[in-house]
Chain A
Amino acid sequence: MIHQRLRIVLWALVGLAALGGILIVLQRPSASTNEAAMATIGGPFTLTGTDGKPFASSRLNGKPAAIFFGFTNCPDVCPTTLARLVKLRKQLGQGDDALSIVFVTVDPERDGPAEVGSYAGLFNAPVIGLTGSTADIERVKKQFGVFSQKVDQPDGSYSVDHTASVFLMDRNGTFVATLSPEEVDAVALAKIRRLLA
């Protein structure tokens, strides 16, 4: 009889412990979901530089970077965004070395190292152009939570819908903030200044 009671009590304790464990596991993610989401943007990657050689993201370390995903057949948003970043960097007045501007194509089919290179060269200022295999690009898009989708054009070519935001990374390659096209320059400048501080 005593044994049986003891067994029941012990099993009850096991049950309570299990329940407690489940509760802890259930509560933990809800408390830190935001931080987790922020921390998961970015991360190390290797793509292809405009010289056709591998480009490891560690080469960006040491100074902050503004990373933009676009494509070279993009006549409006992409050159507008890159020209804006070049302009903002000039307004900081700390030289081209203060901030890396990185252009990653989401259209690797059409944008090889040469295309990305001449596109990045359009802005009369240093812009790092990156491409890669379709698998490479898909992986990096996933790391940054970037969306892109081909849209057929009437002449048989295609355009690409894509995430318009710029990702601001600190000098250790950690994601800090995004710049959106709607944001006024003053806000954008303040965000970049904080990165340089």
Chain B
Amino acid sequence: MIRFPAILALLLLASCGQQGSSEIRPSKAWARPTIGQAPGAVYLTIENKGGGDDRLTGAATDNAAMAMIHQNEVVNGVARMRMAGEINIPAHDRIEMRPGGTHIMLQGLRAPLKAGDDFDLVLRFRNSKDQTVNVTVLKPEGQ
């Protein structure tokens, strides 16, 4: 009698895998301190433990007027920052946002970010539910 629900659960899990649903785990979110009206940048790791691909489509925080996914690139020695659109997070894979590459830019911060502060950032995905990650403001040296 006990086995039956267990088998059912396994079957359910297996079917989940076949449908290829994603399982998103954001972590290690951090930002550097900012001054005045200057925008901030959040870096984080997003892991997809599920069997289905997903996409990061947007971000929002009560702490800033706008949160945008940005991509930085150096072309012919010139640093260019542009909107990144959506970020692919393939099944069983992870993306790590690092300084000088992809980041979530916070424009119109309510107050400058100070080392030791923390705040919530909501991440939106194509397939998964919204995920909230806590962002820690580190010393300017970063990670």
Chain A residues with a Cβ under 8 A of chain B: 72-77, 79-80, 82-83, 86-87, 115, 118-119, 122-124, 147, 151, 153-155, 157, 159, 161-165, 180-182
Contact = CB atoms under 8 A, between A and B. Distances in A.
Given A122-B140, A181-B100, A163 B108 contact: no
Given A119-B38, A164-B77, A155 B103 contact: no
B65 interface: yes
Interface in B90-110: 99-100, 103, 105-108
A135 B141 CA distance: 33
Contacts of B141: 83, 86-87, 123-124
Contacts, number: 96
A165 B99 contact: no
A41 to B, nearest CB: 13
B28 interface: no
A71 to B, nearest CB: 9
B126 to A, nearest CB: 21
Contacts of B100: 76-77, 80, 181
B142 interface: yes
A162 B40 CA distance: 18
Contact of A73 (B39, B82, B83): B39
Contacts of A124: 139-141
Given A75-B40, A76-B103, A83-B140, A115 B79 contact: no
B140 A123 contact: yes
Interface of B is mostly: strand
Given A80-B99, A80-B142, A83-B140, A147 B78 contact: yes
A183 B91 CA distance: 32
B38 A181 contact: no
A182 B38 contact: no
A79 B79 CA distance: 13
Interface residues of B, number: 34
B29 to A, nearest CB: 15
A86 B32 CA distance: 15
Given A75-B38, A164-B78, 6 more contacts: A77-B81, A86-B141, A115-B36, A118-B36, A155-B65, A181-B100
Contacts of A165: 77
B33 to A, nearest CB: 6
Contacts of B74: 164, 180-182
A163 to B, nearest CB: 6
A66 B101 CA distance: 23
B66 interface: yes
A80 B65 CA distance: 23
B10 interface: no
Contact of A76 (B41, B83, B108, B139): B41
Contacts of A147: 77-78
